[in-house]
Amino acid sequence: MKTINPTSMAAPFGRYSHAVLVSQKQRLLKTSGQLALSLDKQIPQSAYQQATLIFQNLARLLEQAQMQKSDIIHLTAYVTDRQYMAEYMQARDEFLGNITPPASTLLIVSGFTLPEFKVEIELTATAD
């Protein structure tokens, strides 16, 4: 896979790539939107804690698919308020570490199935 960030356009607004090109002979993993629900059905309070838990669960899905963080080509995140963007981005950057940033979309939405949820994240990954 190859990231595409042409110098003929403005650089990405944050830590992401404008596009990711994938060859056709790859396995593809597309997750459902993940909410911050722990194994014992607890919902963390802060957006940062929720995003961190979600990224831990996404790592588990990657592992089950025999993939790594570096296989992620796109993240889509939803937060219920603009004030949660920084906390989400902090958790995202910690999760991604020093890998090449995937393409990314961040949306502000009016809410989720339970009012306690502040963040939802889904990913797309590809590997040989």
* pTM more than 0.85: yes
Q: Please give the chain's pLDDT, 128 residues, in tens.
A: 788 999 999 998 888 899 988 877 889 999 999 999 999 999 999 999 999 999 999 999 999 999 999 999 999 999 999 999 999 999 999 999 999 999 999 999 999 999 999 999 999 999 98
Residue 80: predicted pLDDT:
98
Geometric angle at alpha carbon 114, from 35 and 42, rounded to 5°: 60
Q: What 3-state class would DSSP assign to 15?
A: coil
Q: Which helix (H) or strand (E) holds 125?
A: strand 119-127
| Residues in contact with 86: Cβ distance below 8 Å, sequence separation at least 6, in sequence order | none
Q: Which CATH superfamily is domain 2-127 in?
A: RutC-like (3.30.1330.40)
What SS3 class is residue 7?
Answer: coil
Distance, CA of 70 to CA of 4 (rounded, Å): 15
